[in-house]
Amino acid sequence: MAESDTLHTIGNGSHDPMRIVALDAYGVNPGDISWEPFKALGKFDVFDNTPRELLGSRAGQADAILVNRMRIGAKELDAMPRLRYIGAFATGYNFIDTTETARRGITVTNIPAYSTMSVAQATWALLLEVCNHTAFYDKLSHSGQWSGMPGFDYQPHPLIELDGKQIGIIGLGNIGRAVGRMADAFGMKVAAYTSRPQESLPAGWTKMDLPTLMKTSDVISVHCPLTPQSRNLVNAGMIASMKPGAIFINTARGAIADENALADALNEGKIHAGLDVLGHEPPEPGCRLLSARNCIVTPHVAWATRETRNRAITEAAANLKAYISGNPVNVVG
């Protein structure tokens, strides 16, 4: 695709506007949301996606860039010598080398709470699909199999009731707390692996160390950021310790769990999983989790409701405006 095929330019007509480039904007805005919040901030170029070989020609003169998933490291920064600001269209920013940006004096911001309710909702969509097999039973009905049965009920996949069961939440940030509130509504017991003190947790919630949480929970849901400390936090030993029939849900980052150990446990029929994230995205050929038993995988779309994407644009623009004014907010590097 030619460079001009995905370029749209918005400017404010000023004599020397800030040059702002959104490098991989399609995931945030495939065309259904206005870019108006950026209109007054400078000369704004929007690209659906940017191959690395075009980075210099597209953003070599940029003062600020906006990225959704594109990896930004030393080589990419070398192609943008004027760069002073990177805005992530996301809460997670592990795709940006913040050590390198700090060395170069480049400010990095994120949008910390824009996707809370959409990701919490998607967490429950995955969990309820594992418990109720709604897509399977819908297909069974529409295929005519139900019509040919001697009785009114048919349950080749066991159904699971969540009331009274324990959900173990790894990370009690905005999303983890929202998932916990929803678990309360389902009558579940809430356990949490968190740095927060027990007395700060909602009534009835129990703080646990991670090994205990993994061993005792019927459902485990991951909601912590990916950091060097959390990579493979859910290791092979912890996965092996999970209760038979337990459900593992991950809408955070794939690399937080040992994917080979998770695939082994799934293929042994010991546990179930609902995943919106993988360690490598898009997945490489032969990804074991895509062929594992009892495993639902969605393509990192938990955050992608239109409401959330609209907030992403609004809040990213507010971050950039604050930076331009000399009072940056949501700085992460």
Task: Write down the catalytic residue from 253, 272, 309, 311.
Answer: 253
Tallying the residues shown for the chain, one arrives at 333
Task: Examine the residue annotation and report whether 223 is marked as an active-site residue of this protein.
Answer: no
Residue in this structure with the two tokens 């429950």, named with its chain if needed: 124
Task: Write down the catalytic residue from 300, 309, 311, 315.
Answer: 300
| Burial profile 159-181: b = 16 or more Cβ within 10 angstroms, e = fewer | ebebeebbbbbbbbbbbbbbbbe
Provide the residue type at 70 as one letter: M
User: Are residues 116 and 178 in contact, defined by beta-carbon separation less than 8 angstroms?
Assistant: yes
Task: Examine the residue annotation and report whether 300 is marked as an active-site residue of this protein.
Answer: yes
Task: Examine the residue annotation and report whether 19 is marked as an active-site residue of this protein.
Answer: no
User: Are residues 101 and 326 in contact, defined by beta-carbon separation less than 8 angstroms?
Assistant: no
- Biggest CA–CA distance in the chain, Å, is 78
Task: Write down the catalytic residue from 69, 231, 281, 288.
Answer: 281
Residue positions annotated with a catalytic role: 253, 281, 300
